[in-house]
Structure 1
Amino acid sequence: MESLDTPQIITHIEHNINHSIFDCKWIPCSAKFVVIGCIPKGHGTIEIFEITAGEVKKIKEIERPNSFKCGTFGATSDIERRLATGDFKGTLEIWDLEKSCQVYITKEHTDIINSIDGMGGSTVGCGAPEIVTGSRDGTVKVWDPRQRGKPVANMQPVKGEGKRDCWSVCFGNSFNDSERIVVAGYDNGDLKMFDLRTMSLRWECNLKNGVCHAEFDRKDIPMNKLVATTLEGKFHVFDVRTQNPTKGFAQVLENSVKSGTIWVARHLPQNRDLFVTCSGNGQASLWKYEYPEQRFRMDQQGVSVGVPGTLKRLQRMVVSTQPINALDWNRDHLGLAVATAYDQYVRVIVTTKLNIQ
């Protein structure tokens, strides 16, 4: 019996797109969102929808020869609201959606860009605007959209390690003008943390399953928590506040839910301790991370060791007949989200009663 205070996940609007869709993002400071994908002849599409009177209405479409895979507004200001996209040919582009034109294009990857993230666009005091891309070619590249051509950082596989498919990238630790971290997840389960200030590998581990998605609970604060989702219905929450030289970070592994691959995890913008996971059976689950009484302890050598917290599932709801491959929370309206799935539907989802202490 659920209490009256239990959050509810409600599908508010369903809209059939009728072609393959891979990503979705709210346009900052608006009731509009973009849906990224490809049509049957292989061309890429960016479709802009607006919510009006309880329905979604398509107001613009951009089409180009190559299929899009992913997109982000993270490196743009709330005034310009330019969308950065990665495509199946390894091309990074930045779009002026108002004018429906490219303002930046570069092709340094040799294969599909699986994942993209942006930082520094609308947040003051957290460093330069940058975009990070992860590709099937095994490389992770960081770009400054103010500079044309080559990436400002290029993380390649170690010689002799073999080429790995990078499935996920994300920014974090951008709490001032100099600090910035990139985390990359790979098909073999490797999770790597790169320090862009020192241009070094800060930490790595292997999660034993391909890493589908990784995200910090906040990008613009000193590292706090990191969620990494994997194949076979598992995800890990790392407390990245305390790094032990030998043991690394404390973590919680959640593998009790038999829901297939967990494609994505997204933290609530208004509460960093709440996040949703989206899985292969079309289920969205809302989780709360609960901290331990003390987040670290001292070992026998007097060195800090992180202490893991616990996870509490607040709600779950099947919202699609196929895997949910993308979800984006609206940062202006608590509990409002847009999600895409392989059943070719885009859904506007409302989660209630999220004012949880």
Structure 2
Amino acid sequence: MLLVPGGFHVDTKASGAFGEKKPQIIAHAHTSLNFTVFDCKWIPCSAKFVCLGNFPRGTGVVQIHELQHGELQLVKELEKPKPIKCGTFGASSLQTRHIATGDFDGNLNIWNLEAADVPVYSVKAHKEIVNSIDGVGGLGIGEGAPEIVTGSRDGTVKVWDPRQRDSPVANMEPMEGETKRDCWTVAFGHAFNQEDRCVCAGYDNGDVKLFDLRNMSVRWETNIKNGVCCVEFDRKDINMNKLVATSLEGRFHVFDMRTQHPTKGFASVSEKAHKSTIWQVKHLPQNRDVFMTTGGAGNLHLWKYEYPAQRSEKDSEGVAGGVAGSLSLLQNVTLATQPIASLDWSPDKQGLCVCSAFDQSVRVLIVTKLNTV
């Protein structure tokens, strides 16, 4: 165990010695906040990031911080009527860089951070809290219309086009007689042309559902036996390649999404990585086979997915199915005593990321030597 700048520990069992060409996770800047932060996102094409959360008095907060000469400077603070749970820039253009947020009252709002007194778009999206949000079609990522997907405690998953007011363009809700499950996480994928697009959703009972938006149907579903905290495709703008789903009990699953067997579904590999909840997974924008998981014990694990020699094979009946790859742990660190609830890689600078923990702090980290993995 070695101490590195920033006062946290690196597990040398994962990294070997510092002389080896393994990535290192270095604390670059840190600041304490006066509110609970639920999500943080880099503002594209900038050295700024947004923190979203709630003040102790029960109102929402949007804070913008800027990285200047190795230190974090508070640029702007905005107080909102309701606590804010999640946000995304994914449906915005690089010119406007508007952030879409979901709050505790079920509202979907889109904010112009330059003039954020009133949202540029607002809709009562759900009856209960918006747990998760994702965007596609913006920032030059993914073909097709700019769309936002929201998942809520009310059990529904809805897709919104900000150019259309009031009603969602798609609404995935429990069928009559089905038990309403709390949707904890949503993610876009398969947006590689103008026609195709899908949404993956994870629920409190371990269900993972893949919705085909072109055919408005459930393409595939499985259960990972524990509440699904986060799902993410390795990239949104390609033919489906890999999907990672994390869970409450410290295990995550990587599904190979290229070949779907008619009865067995998608091949997968799983790893028991953390001793507690895996709150988030985020793929490195510049290398879709590298991703970070964040843990309930205040730790981060950096992983790499290794593809098998062949990605599909035929069974005894001649039906093609996928072949799962393998996982290698590149590095892990312990940053905090509280869960790390959010993490976001910089889309512009490889290895730069921001994360927030429930100790009311936000940290900017640098992950080195990613070109060598």
TM-score scaled by structure 1? 0.98
Alpha-carbon distance in 1 for matches of 2:298, 2:158: 31
Of 117, 135, 157, the match for 2:134: 117
The answer for the alignment partner of 1:344 in structure 2 is 360
Of 259, 269, 274, the match for 2:285: 269
The answer for the alignment partner of 1:179 in structure 2 is 196
Aligned residues: 356
The Cα shift of 1:47 comes to: 0.4
Cα deviation per residue 1:182-215 (whole Å; 9 max; x = unaligned)? 0000000000000000000000001100000000
Matching of residues 278-293 of structure 1 within 5 Å: 278-293=294-309
The Cα shift of 1:108 comes to: 2.9
The Cα shift of 1:64 comes to: 1.2
Of 135, 152, 161, the match for 2:152: 135
Alpha-carbon distance in 2 for matches of 1:329, 1:114: 20
Deviating above 4 A after TM superposition, structure 1's stretches of 4 or more consecutive aligned residues are none
Q: Does 2:251 match 1:231?
A: no
The answer to whether the Cα contact below 8 Å between 2:188 and 2:236 also exists between their aligned partners in 1 is yes
The answer to whether the Cα contact below 8 Å between 1:192 and 1:204 also exists between their aligned partners in 2 is yes
CA RMSD of aligned residues (A): 1.0
| Change over 3 Å in CA distance of 1:125–1:331 after alignment to 2 | closer
The answer for the alignment partner of 1:89 in structure 2 is 105
The answer to whether the Cα contact below 8 Å between 1:83 and 1:97 also exists between their aligned partners in 2 is yes
1:267 counterpart letter in structure 2? H
1:336 counterpart letter in structure 2? L
2:120 match: secondary structure: strand
2:133 counterpart letter in structure 1? I
Q: Does 2:54 match 1:32?
A: no
1:167 counterpart letter in structure 2? W
Of 256, 269, 282, the match for 1:252: 269
Alpha-carbon distance in 1 for matches of 2:150, 2:114: 24
The Cα shift of 1:345 comes to: 0.3
The Cα shift of 1:124 comes to: 6.3
The Cα shift of 1:319 comes to: 1.1
The answer to whether the Cα contact below 8 Å between 2:90 and 2:139 also exists between their aligned partners in 1 is yes
| Change over 3 Å in CA distance of 1:124–1:285 after alignment to 2 | closer
The answer to whether the Cα contact below 8 Å between 1:259 and 1:283 also exists between their aligned partners in 2 is no
Alpha-carbon distance in 2 for matches of 1:347, 1:158: 42
The answer for the alignment partner of 2:9 in structure 1 is none
Q: Does 2:316 match 1:300?
A: yes
Q: Which runs of 5 or more residues in structure 1 are unaligned?
A: none
Of 281, 299, 319, the match for 2:335: 319
Q: Does 2:57 match 1:41?
A: yes
The answer for the alignment partner of 1:242 in structure 2 is 259
The answer for the alignment partner of 1:170 in structure 2 is 187
Alpha-carbon distance in 2 for matches of 1:305, 1:84: 38
The answer to whether the Cα contact below 8 Å between 2:126 and 2:154 also exists between their aligned partners in 1 is yes
